């Protein structure tokens, strides 16, 4: 067997343990995408203050932005910071939306504690075959695998939200078949959320129509005690969109997922919710604002400090909504 960097050597926690604890205690583990150091530090700040478990998350395109070795070491350094401060909250490192076996293999080999293989654009049988191949490889190293059945509206793994997709609700029967035939550890399902920035009121008439809790209940009855995952759950507060547009940006008005819809999920089989856009949009808004107000600025620390402080508040709020605060 080839040598891999076993994730526990970096201090990362097993996704299976994180989600099983969430399932049994009725809370949801927040999974935060990070693409900057400010986001990563803000996540650490929120974890320490709220004493919440969490998952750090990057997509394959960030291999090019950071280099995968740097991603792993940055996440490791954040966990070491928590431990030095006396915080023992479990934290995982997750690959979001791996599109190929090779992208997932690379994450496993470099020390990620979990990977997602997204075959939702394939036929069910092709999706099962691809996911099973990733599971067979990852499970050799005790790395958990997330799959997906059903496709979300919006842009997966996109910064700008320009890719059009059709919302296909997850069929509970297909979900059950997928889970049983792949031995996947958790499953992302489509119940009415939307990826990226396509949560807009003017986007081809699309608006947020609510979550299909009935689909979640049916899957739970078919496959008891199996953890589900939701993507596309950012709330997209209007104040940040207005800030971007005030300072020479151009972003349409957005409709995110209301907090009250997410609060209801704590008693469901949903154990992990991904948050990405709620970190990107405020960061962009604050950067635009500070640079517009201080055109002489050449030191980025001014707006980076403000971004970290604002994101900490946002991430702590997510922990409250997901009922994960105090569960670490």
**CA-CA distance, 282 to 285, in Å (whole number)?**
5
- Please, are residues 51 and 89 in contact by the beta-carbon 8 Å criterion? yes
Active site residue 96: yes
Q: What angle do CA 9, 130, 232 make, to 5 degrees?
A: 75
- Please, are residues 63 and 99 in contact by the beta-carbon 8 Å criterion? no
Record the tokens describing residue 130, joined without a space.
């691809």
Strands 186-189 and 228-230, sheet pairing: parallel
The one catalytic residue in 96, 171, 185, 278 is 96
**CA-CA distance, 246 to 81, in Å (whole number)?**
37
- In sequence order, the β-bridge partners of residue 228 are 187, 270
DSSP output for 36-49: SHHHHHHHHHHHHH
DSSP output for 261-317: HHHGGGGSSEEEEEE-HHHHHHHHHHHHHHHHH-TT---THHHHHHHHHHHHHHHHH
- Please, are residues 228 and 274 in contact by the beta-carbon 8 Å criterion? no
**CA-CA distance, 232 to 185, in Å (whole number)?**
20
Active site residues: 96
């Amino acid at each position: 067997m080839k040598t891999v960097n076993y994730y526990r050597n970096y201090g990362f926690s097993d996704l299976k343990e994180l989600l099983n604890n969430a399932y049994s205690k009725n809370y949801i583990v927040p999974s935060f995408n990070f693409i900057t150091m400010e986001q990563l530090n803000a996540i650490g700040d929120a974890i320490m203050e709220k004493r919440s478990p969490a998952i750090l998350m990057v997509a394959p395109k960030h291999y090019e932005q950071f280099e995968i070795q740097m991603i792993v070491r940055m996440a490791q350094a954040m966990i070491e910071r928590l431990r030095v401060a006396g915080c023992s909250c479990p934290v995982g490192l997750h690959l979001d939306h791996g599109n190929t076996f090779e992208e997932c293999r690379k994450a496993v080999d470099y020390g990620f504690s979990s990977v997602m293989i997204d075959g939702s654009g394939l036929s069910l049988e092709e999706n099962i075959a691809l996911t099973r191949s990733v599971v067979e490889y990852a499970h050799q190293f005790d790395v958990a695998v997330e799959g997906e059945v059903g496709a979300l509206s919006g842009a997966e793994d996109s910064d700008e939200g320009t890719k059009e997709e059709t919302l296909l609700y997850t069929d509970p029967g297909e979900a059950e078949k997928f889970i049983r035939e792949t031995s996947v550890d958790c499953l992302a399902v489509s119940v009415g959320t939307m990826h990226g920035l396509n949560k807009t009121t003017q986007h081809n008439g699309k608006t947020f129509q609510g979550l299909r809790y009935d689909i979640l209940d049916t899957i739970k009855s078919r496959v008891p005690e199996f953890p589900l995952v939701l993507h596309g759950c950012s709330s997209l507060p209007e104040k940040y969109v207005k800030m971007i547009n005030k300072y020479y940006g151009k972003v349409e008005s957005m409709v995110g997922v209301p907090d009250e819809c997410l609060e209801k999920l704590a008693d469901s089989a949903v154990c992990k919710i991904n948050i990405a856009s709620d970190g990107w949009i405020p960061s962009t808004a604050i950067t635009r604002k500070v640079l517009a107000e201080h055109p002489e600025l050449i030191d980025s620390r001014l707006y980076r400090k403000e971004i970290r402080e604002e994101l900490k508040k946002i991430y702590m709020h997510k922990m409250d909504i997901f009922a994960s605060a105090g569960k670490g």
